[in-house]
Amino acid sequence: MSAALTVADSKRAFHRAFPYVIGPLYRRMVDELLVELHLLSRQQGFQSDPLFAVGLVQVFDGFAKGYRPEAQREPLFAALCSASGFDGAQLRQQHSQALAAMGHHSVEAVKQWIEQQGAGAPEPIASALASIQRPNFHYSRLMAVGLMALLEQAQGADAMDPDALRSYAHDLGASIGLLRDRLDKDLKLYASNLEKMAQAVELMEETVAAEKRKRERRAAAPALASDPTSSSGGGPDATGPDDSPSGGDSAPGVPTAG
């Protein structure tokens, strides 16, 4: 991608690749990732590696949970990536391979790999850890999320307290040259924002379900009111032949307010 391209250029490329309306709940996430990926693609010391891939996919999947229509979710990810010169399908593949590799090893094994700068680690973990040792290495918060996600996949991680696992990630990150304070801040902010997003999605789904029930009740109300068996008179034979129309028939039903 040309170094002369701007954030506005990346946004235009994104909207060409994804010409759909994005729900209000997800617009901020999309805008922030667009800008972040654009800036990373301009950084001379940045290199797309499995650690970055895992972090990006985790962030997108976490914040795009509940996206509707669901069929547009993967095209949205692909457009976000391609707008800044990344290959979404390739990043997905790196994410899957890295998580699968971690699932066969313990947290202690991961610690040894990191202390030995990737020696003994399976691919693509080895190349990711080796990449951090580059002199011009450029840190991204997505790498902090990727490190945490990889640790969570290791054997024995599920038995650890979440706070203890996060602290472990801080220690391991610091041992390979990542700033502990920066890691701590980025992971806490990610966890906090993810929780808020989950609550917002839950509220949105509850609101949509409530509106659907309200529409169904309104649609059913006229049919119930026009059904003779639903009148207080008990049916067509309940009134005598001399009763006036106003006394024997129910008025057209009015939809309930819900």
Length of the chain: 258
Confidence band (pLDDT; 50, 70, 90) for 152? confident
By CB neighbour count within 10 A (0-12 exposed, 13-18 middle, 19+ buried), where does 95 fall? buried
Confidence band (pLDDT; 50, 70, 90) for 247? very low
The per-residue pLDDT for range 162-202, each reduced to its tens digit, is 777 777 777 777 766 677 778 888 888 888 888 888 888 88
Per domain, the residue ranges of the chain are 7-203
In eight-state DSSP terms, residue 122 is P
Q: Which long-range contacts (CB under 8 A, 24 or more apart) does 7-15 make?
A: 7/34, 7/35, 7/38, 7/39, 10/34, 10/37, 10/38, 10/83, 10/84, 11/83, 13/82, 13/83, 14/79, 14/80, 14/82, 14/83
d(CA 14, CA 30): 10
What's the chain's average pLDDT? 80
This prediction has a pTM of 0.75
**Region 97-103: what's the mean pLDDT?**
86
- Report pLDDT for 124: 74
- Report pLDDT for 230: 52
More confident residue, 218 or 19: 19
* Contact between residue 131 and residue 47 where contact means Cβ atoms under 8 Å apart: yes
The per-residue pLDDT for range 52-73, each reduced to its tens digit, is 999 999 999 999 988 999 999 9
For residue 52, what are the contacts with CB-CB under 8 A and spacing of at least 6?
91, 140, 142, 143, 146
Confidence band (pLDDT; 50, 70, 90) for 238? very low
Residues of the chain with pLDDT > 70, as a percent, come to 82
Determine which of 83-87, 105-109, 229-233 has the lowest per-residue pLDDT on average: 229-233
Is residue 256 over pLDDT 70?
A: no
In eight-state DSSP terms, residue 238 is G
C-alpha closest to that of 173 among 185, 159, 161: 185
HSE, CB side, 13 Å, CA atoms: give it for residue 86: 33
Confidence band (pLDDT; 50, 70, 90) for 16? very high
HSE, CB side, 13 Å, CA atoms: give it for residue 77: 22
More confident residue, 243 or 221: 221
Residues 116-134 as b/e (b if ≥16 CB within 10 A, e otherwise) read eebeebeebbbbbbebbee
Other beta carbons less than 10 A from residue 254's beta carbon = 10
- Report pLDDT for 122: 79
d(CA 168, CA 164): 6
Phi/psi of residue 63, nearest 5 degrees: -85, -15
Other beta carbons less than 10 A from residue 11's beta carbon = 16
d(CA 115, CA 132): 12
